[in-house]
Amino acid sequence: MIAKLRSAYGSGIEPLTYLGQNYMVVDRSLIPDLLRILRDEEQFDYCVDITAVHYPKREKQFDVIWILYSFPRNERIRVKTLIGESESLPSSVPIWATANWLEREVFDMFGIKFDGHPDLKRILLPDGWKGFPLRKDYGILQQDNEWVQINLGIESGQ
Amino acid sequence: MTDPNTLSPLDLDTPDKTFLDANELVINMGPQHPATHGVLRVILRLDGEKVLGLECVIGYLHRGVEKIAENRTYTMFNPYVDRMDYVAAVSNGLGYCEAVEKLLNVEAPPRAQYIRVILTELNRMASHQLWLGTHALDIGAITPLFYTFRDREEILKIFEKYCGARLTTHAFRIGGLQYEAYDGFEKDVRNFVSFVKPKIDEYEELLTTNRIWLERTKGVGVISGKDAIALGVTGPVLRASGVKWDIRKALPYANYKNFDFEIPTGANGDTYDRYIVRMVEMRQSLRIIEQAVEGIPEGPIMAKVPKVMKPPVGEIYHSIEAPKGELGYFIVSDGSTQPYRIRVRPPSFVNLQALDVMCRGQLVADVIAVIGTLDIVLGEVDR
């Protein structure tokens, strides 16, 4: 599969294995075409999860990860791409409907935007909240005090 | 929709402008509603009694578990996972411990594996019993709740005797178990199995052929296998739609490959099929427990794990078949004592997304049935 994908996309795909789990690091420009091909031609019909990791010291600060599973092949694979703080990604909602809430959560926690998402807004935190909690520069005790004071009528949620 | 406040109260000559004659009605359900099993708010768009669409508002129980994980060591985070799906804490712990074990490249000893399977399957049973009691109660059958809670108590007693806690058990440790099975553990488990077998028949007697139950569940909240896969729905909900997929069989973990059990599936993907699937799952859990309790090997219960855990740099995704569906942990290690990132893939969160699709075209009363049949736990949805 990887050989086929590499011949189509060249060096934009780097296949890796760690502890028996396969994943590939791909260029941001290959998203979402590659994801669509994985679903349509390689039968990865189930998008298990979409998530991100923040590396503040890197130039491209975020890893965005799609965990995919194929029912016919009984195989799991992860697709990872690196993006900078100001970059956005094309939404994969047209490919897997489940991406809707998963992308909203990534947006909520990391502030990564997905272009073409039908309703990209916060999901776990309230709408007016400031900041993205799972970024590394967001402290564990930090909170949007202004929001708490206005909406809950208390000095602090701590 | 016209704002009712702007209309004059006596403006009865223009019926299409008044509130009551509006074709579409938007109503709010929750967050404090007994049938939402926690704090879930649902905004329903209705045409008369028919649901045109709905939107879920979640996050009321958000505690930032993933953020907490980044500030704790691997061992310290272990009790936190119990607080996500608090009715199936043992399953959460199994998934987490196995994920970290994979990252550390160690394996729990066989004796620990057997005890883990017994406790996890007991927990699946307890989770399904709680689901059945509350789901039936939502639909209007009060008796099953008393039956299931009476029998679930016996499972909680075993947990309490084993590790001192009934719900948030923290039963497993990374590398194996903290506690050896207590004296009489096997006897208790065997007694429980023979005690509960006829009880499942009792539940079925109350519901399976009950006419009201059939009317309220047959053809309600239908989701096709194709839609379920596209929406990432897993667990009994997926199986009731005819997709024969269970992680215990597809990608075996712990020592499930040593046990003989069946994966039940449904044909119609409706609320009734999901009920039947879960009933069969309870019986299959008992089958696994019976096999496991006969074969517990002697030996150590803890693998050699360093006191200070520093997994090598790398990423791992590990998932298990929790009572609600695929529960996954994606862990990134930077080589230090604390995880760089832990992502929990919660089955309830993803399954809840299907609520909109399953409720469209149904009646308002069926929304309650569908929320119940999805078997969500808000502690896990919001994390």
A131–chain B nearest CA distance, Å: 14
Report the distance separating Cα A43 and Cα A66, nearest Å.
Answer: 15
A17–chain B nearest CA distance, Å: 10
Interchain contact, B316 vs A126, CB within 8 Å: no
Report the distance separating Cα B75 and Cα A105, nearest Å.
Answer: 26
What pLDDT, on a 0 to 100 scale, did the predictor assign at position B317? Answer: 92
Residue of A nearest to B339 (CA): A53
B56-97 pLDDT per residue, tens:
889 888 888 999 999 899 999 999 998 888 888 999 999 999
Q: Which two tokens stand for residue A155?
A: 């000095």
Residue with tokens 């590396």: A55
B87-114 pLDDT per residue, tens:
889 999 999 999 999 888 898 899 999 9
**Predicted-assembly ipTM surpassing the 0.95 threshold:** no
Q: Which chain A residues are closer than 8 Å to B250 by Cβ?
A: 74
User: Residue type for B76, please?
Assistant: M
A9–chain B nearest CA distance, Å: 25
Q: How many CB atoms lie within 10 A of CB B66?
A: 20
Interchain contact, A47 vs B243, CB within 8 Å: no
Report the distance separating Cα A144 and Cα B130, nearest Å.
Answer: 37
* Interaxial angle between packed helices B89-104 and B74-82, expressed in degrees from 0 to 180 and rounded to the nearest 10: 160
Q: Which two tokens stand for residue B168?
A: 């948030």
Interchain contact, A67 vs B328, CB within 8 Å: yes
Q: What is the pLDDT along chain B (383 residues), one digit of tens a residue?
A: 556 556 555 555 555 554 555 678 888 887 888 777 778 888 888 888 888 888 888 988 888 899 999 989 999 999 999 888 888 899 999 999 999 998 888 988 999 999 999 999 999 999 999 999 999 998 888 889 999 999 999 999 999 999 888 888 888 989 888 888 888 898 999 999 999 999 999 898 888 888 889 988 988 888 888 889 989 999 999 999 988 899 988 888 888 888 989 999 988 889 999 999 999 999 999 999 999 998 888 888 888 888 888 888 889 999 999 999 999 999 999 888 999 999 999 999 999 999 988 888 888 888 988 998 988 888 888 88
Find the distance separating the first CA and the last CA of chain B, reported in whole Å: 35
Question: With 0-12 CB in 10 A as exposed, 13-18 as middle and 19+ as buried, what is A9?
Answer: middle
* 8 A C-beta contact, residue B352 and residue B253: no
User: CA separation (Å) from A69 to A74, B247, B319, B324?
Assistant: 7, 12, 12, 18
| DSSP sequence for B41-96 | EEEEEEETTEEEEEEEE--TT---HHHHHHTS-HHHHHHHHHTTSTTSHHHHHHHH
Radius of gyration over every alpha carbon of chain A, rounded to an integer in angstroms: 18
Q: Is the peptide bond before B31 cis (omega within 30 degrees of 0)?
A: yes
Give the residue among A96, A116, A117 at the shortest CA–CA distance from A43.
Answer: A96
Interchain contact, B340 vs A123, CB within 8 Å: no
Q: Does B267 touch chain A (CB under 8 A)?
A: no
Interchain contact, A71 vs B229, CB within 8 Å: yes
Residue of A nearest to B227 (CA): A97
| DSSP sequence for B147-171 | HHHHHHHHHHHHHHHHHS-SSS---
Work out how many CB contacts closer than 8 A connect A with B.
89
Q: Which chain A residues are closer than 8 Å to B353 by Cβ?
A: 98, 100-101
Q: Which residues of A touch B (CB under 8 A)?
A: 18-19, 21, 23, 45-49, 51, 53-54, 65, 67, 71, 74, 76, 78, 96-98, 100-102, 105, 109, 122-126, 133-134, 138, 140
Report the distance separating Cα B189 and Cα B296, nearest Å.
Answer: 12
Q: What is the mean pLDDT of chain B?
A: 87
What are phi and psi for residue A54, nearest 5 degrees? -105, 125
What are phi and psi for residue A147, nearest 5 degrees? -60, -45
Q: Which chain A residues are closer than 8 Å to B314 by Cβ?
A: 18-19
Give the residue among B236, B339, B354, B57 at the shortest CA–CA distance from A122.
Answer: B57
B297–chain A nearest CA distance, Å: 28
Largest CA distance in chain A: 60
Interchain contact, B243 vs A74, CB within 8 Å: no
B56–chain A nearest CA distance, Å: 9
Interchain contact, A98 vs B231, CB within 8 Å: yes
Residue of A nearest to B351 (CA): A98
DSSP state of A103: H
Report the distance separating Cα A143 and Cα A146, nearest Å.
Answer: 9
Q: Does B300 touch chain A (CB under 8 A)?
A: no
Report the distance separating Cα B289 and Cα B190, nearest Å.
Answer: 9
A134–chain B nearest CA distance, Å: 6
